[in-house]
Amino acid sequence: MTLDSGSLAWADSLAGSWLLPTLVGLPLAVALVLLLVPRLGDDAATRIATGAAAVTLVLAVLGGLAAAPFDGAGIAAGNGGISVSWTWIEALGVRFHLGMDGVSTPLVVLTALLGLLVTGHLVRVRPEAGRARSLAACYLTVVGGALATFTALDVIVFFLAFEIVLIPMWFIIAVWGDDHQPVTRYSAGGDAARREAANRFILYTAVGSAVMLLGLLLVALRTRTTDLVTLAHDAGHGLGGGVQTTAAVLIVAGLAVKAPAFPLHTWLPPAHTTAPTGGSVLLAGVLLKMGTYGLVRLAVPVVPDGVRTIAPVLGALGVAGILWAGLACFVERDLKRLIALSSVAHMGFVLLGIASMTPRGLQGALFANVAHGLITGLLFLVVGGVKDRHHSADLATIGTGLRDRLPRLGWLLAFGAIAGLGLPGLAGFWGELLTVIGAWDSTALAGLAKPLTVAAAVGTAIAAVYLLRVLRLVWHGPRPTGAQADRFMGDATPHEVVVAAPLVVFTVALGLLPWLLLDMTGPAVRALLVISGGNAP
């Protein structure tokens, strides 16, 4: 085992040697234990999983502290942050290389936090299909895989981690998914709809991964390395324009499925709608982030000229997603599906920010990434609670007057909606603001820069239209009369409030103190773009 942490402080190197492997390994190991010990009851299993997730969160925060301060240029430039690198497949030159810098730390902490919340949620709120032990194991596997993805500094390690996540997520949707889906013109509803949602999720993302792998292999074969630090340092030097463009198209297309970019987003609404509450939270808060993180880590620094070439297309697809999904949300009747579609709009901002290839745009993209994880995670938690009580997420079935009937749940929903429409002062705002600022004077977007910026700004108003429609239909309004009124329904339990509270607190904190995140990612973003010859400050 060799240790090549670039840091000087002994604490950093010590931390680097055990912290990152433990961070990634702990949730995976505990998941394995949960699966292999069948005598473990659901109560014990969910508590063990929650404990493991809590330790993981502590480790993630410790990792962040060890990687701080983020004033170095980040791993892309070979300094700053913590890392560990073990020999792995010597014949291929693949090393087990993990690290945390300003780009990965926010996502690592977010993933660990959401992992704790979904496992903690499971302690009291059990799925209809039972088998909470296996579900907890699936959650932990997703978290472990995602943590590995966000810390991987080797292309092959990244790809494997990226794939690990798919399998448990398929189980989460296919086994614990909602089988009360209505029959529609194109779907048989019920169990068939559930299986279709799971299959579509796995087929879409697996095809995306395959395409991405082709691009990664192309780069690896041409550069003769799979190490992301080296690749970022070389910044595409030695790769011809044609190779860069081809690799960029393949990598970006593959990751765009996951992000998701319009029109490759159609796996997302059924998957989110069908998945159990915790699954939806992880899908929105963690899985989508893997796509955009991949763009920032794998595409932008590795084949910068290629990304620059296809930036107008990527930006246009991002904005198309903002407008298209925003409009579709306005007539959507299923609340869970609506939140899922709104994710497409929110991730459109992230894609636009990345496509701008400017420091501000990238800052905005990374901020919006985290903000979306918090806000949409909260919305899925709340909507899950609403759905559990009404046995439906249909806006008409839920009925009016939530603010009077279920005040705590109602206010959480209102808060989530208000945060979702990008209200300044809450986390959603800064990502959108910086994205449009970055896109406005982007040279990569060329002639499309101004029109795309204006369209994206209009998208912020569209978000207000559909989210206020939701509040008007279910939060406002008189108490329903008739059958719905007679059914007893408890408001959010203290347990549910505790699970949602961190998301509310962080949404407010990041909204008022954006530098908490921006100062972390700033130097790394500059390093990514300056090295790749981007718009230097």
Partners of 88 in the beta sheet? none
Question: According to the binding rule CB under 8 A, does residue 160 interact with other proteins?
Answer: no
Among positions 362, 386, 393, 395, the unique one binding other proteins when judged by CB under 8 A: 362
From 51-59, 271-279, 280-288, 460-468, give the range in contact with other proteins by CB under 8 A: 460-468
Between residues 81 and 523, which has the closer beta carbon with respect to other proteins?
523
Task: Rounding to the nearest 10 degrees, give the CA dihedral for residues 212, 215, 219, 225.
Answer: 30
Token duo for residue 246: 């081809």
Residue 433 interacts with other proteins (CB under 8 A)?
A: yes
Choosing from 74, 177, 428, 522, the residue that interacts with other proteins (CB under 8 A) is: 522
Pick one of 166, 468, 497, 498: the residue that binds other proteins (CB under 8 A). 468
Residues binding other proteins: what is the number (CB under 8 A)?
Answer: 65
Alpha-carbon span 431 to 511, nearest angstrom:
10
Select the residue interacting with other proteins from 472, 487, 489, 533 (CB under 8 A): 472
Q: Tokens for 442, please give them.
A: 């982007």
Does residue number 297 form part of the binding site for other proteins (CB under 8 A)? no
317 binds other proteins (CB under 8 A): no
Alpha carbons 373 and 376: distance in angstroms, whole number: 6
Residues 529, 307: Cα–Cα separation, whole Å:
12
Least gap, CB of 426 to other proteins (angstroms): 9
Per CB under 8 A, does 446 bind other proteins? Answer: no
Task: Provide, rounded to whole angstroms, the least separation between the CB of residue 520 and other proteins.
Answer: 9
Window contacting other proteins (CB under 8 A); options: 32-40, 58-66, 130-138, 463-471: 463-471
Task: Answer yes or no whether residue 513 interacts with other proteins by CB under 8 A.
Answer: yes
- Measured CA to CA, the distance from residue 284 to residue 271 in angstroms comes to 10
Residue type, 349: F
CA-based nearest residue to 53, from 158, 103, 123, 150: 123
Minimum Å distance from CB 296 to other proteins?
13
268 is a site residue for other proteins (CB under 8 A): no
The answer to whether 459 and 322 have CB atoms below 8 angstroms apart is yes
Q: Is the dihedral of CA 510, 27, 196, 132 positive or negative?
A: negative
Task: Figure out which of the listed residues 47, 222, 233, 476 binds other proteins, where binding follows CB under 8 A.
Answer: 476
d(CA 58, CA 503): 17
Q: Pick the closer one to other proteins by CB: 158 or 262.
A: 262
CB 56 within 8 A of CB 116: yes
Record the tokens describing residue 168, joined without a space: 């448990």
Q: Minimum Å distance from CB 529 to other proteins?
A: 8
Residue 101 to residue 80: CA distance in whole angstroms: 7
The interface region with other proteins, picked from 31-39, 53-61, 172-180, 358-366 by CB under 8 A, is 358-366
Name which of residues 182 to 201 contact other proteins (CB under 8 A).
185-186, 200
The two tokens of residue 514 are 């954006």
- In this structure, the number of other CB atoms found within 10 A of the CB of residue 407 comes to 12
CB of 478 to other proteins, least distance (A): 4
Is 458 near other proteins (CB under 8 A)? Answer: yes
Closer by beta carbon to other proteins, 154 or else 332: 332
Q: Which of 288, 436, 445, 500 binds other proteins (CB under 8 A)?
A: 436
Q: Is 312 in the site for other proteins (CB under 8 A)?
A: no
Q: Which stretch binds other proteins (CB under 8 A): 48-56, 210-218, 289-297, 327-335?
A: 327-335
Cis preceding linkage at 263, omega within 30: yes
Residues 6+ away with beta carbon under 8 Å from 513: none
Does position 276 bind other proteins by CB under 8 A? no
Question: From the CA atom positions of the chain, what is the Rg in Å?
Answer: 22
Q: Is 373 a residue that touches other proteins (CB under 8 A)? A: no
- If one counts every other C-beta atom within 10 angstroms of the C-beta of residue 403, the result is 18
Report the run of H or E that residue 395 belongs to, with start and end. Answer: helix 395-398
Q: How far is CA 89 from CA 86, 92, 152, 417, in A?
A: 10, 6, 15, 48
The kind and range of the H/E element at 98 are strand 94-100
Name 10's Cβ contacts closer than 8 Å, sequence gap at least 6.
none
Closest Cα to residue 499, out of 419, 336, 326, 381?
Answer: 381
Contact in structure between 24 and 147 (CB atoms under 8 Å): yes
Among 43, 128, 191, 404, binds other proteins (CB under 8 A): 404
Site string for other proteins, 409-428 (x = CB under 8 A): ---------x----xxx---
Smallest distance, other proteins to C-beta of residue 354, A: 13
Question: Rounded to whole angstroms, how far apart are CA atoms 477 and 266?
Answer: 32
Q: Does 465 bind other proteins (CB under 8 A)?
A: yes
Which residue lies nearer to other proteins by CB, 170 or 267?
A: 267
Interface with other proteins includes 35 (CB under 8 A)? no
Q: Is 274 in the site for other proteins (CB under 8 A)?
A: no
- When asked if residue 263 is in the footprint of other proteins (CB under 8 A), the reply is yes
Q: Is 464 in the site for other proteins (CB under 8 A)?
A: yes
AA letter at 515 = W
User: CB of residue 148 vs other proteins: minimum separation in angstroms?
Assistant: 28
Work out whether 437 is an interface residue with other proteins (CB under 8 A).
Answer: yes
Answer yes or no whether residue 461 interacts with other proteins by CB under 8 A: yes
> With contact defined as beta carbons under 8 Å apart, do 469 and 330 qualify?
yes
Q: Which of 266, 391, 443, 533 binds other proteins (CB under 8 A)?
A: 266
Q: How far is CA 342 from the centre of its chain?
A: 14
Task: List residues binding other proteins (CB under 8 A).
Answer: 185-186, 200, 203-204, 262-263, 265-267, 324, 327-328, 330-332, 358-363, 401, 403-404, 418, 423-425, 429, 433-434, 436-438, 440-441, 453-454, 457-458, 460-461, 464-465, 468-469, 472, 475-479, 512-515, 518-519, 522-523, 525-526, 535, 537
